[in-house]
Amino acid sequence: MTGRIAFPLLAAKKQPVFQGFRSDDFASFELPTPEPELEKRRSDLRNGLTDRQRLFLFGKLGGLNDKDAALAAGYSLSVAENTKQRIWKPQVRTGI
């Protein structure tokens, strides 16, 4: 066999195959699960304000208007434009 296809095949055939590792040589690992993060968010919701709501209040206390404070806290533009309905919940009002 000669030609453009034969040379790479012959080169690959001549290369040694390293078989020094086995699958059980590596420590087993578990994929991270979202449960701890979800539990943290649930406890935040039960105990008071979320991180975004807290950042929104810090922005308001720092002198920003509602829209700028919401954007600085990480809310989307559509939420920031409707802060009265979306962000000003009773627990946020008591935070001030």
Contact call for residues 46 and 40 (beta carbons, < 8 A): no
At 31-65, the pLDDT tens digits run 777 788 888 777 766 667 888 888 888 898 899 99
- Give me the pLDDT at residue 72, please: 93
pLDDT band at 94 (very low <50, low <70, confident <90, very high): confident
Q: Which residue has the higher pLDDT, 85 or 26?
A: 85
pLDDT band at 6 (very low <50, low <70, confident <90, very high): low
- pTM (global) more than 0.85: no
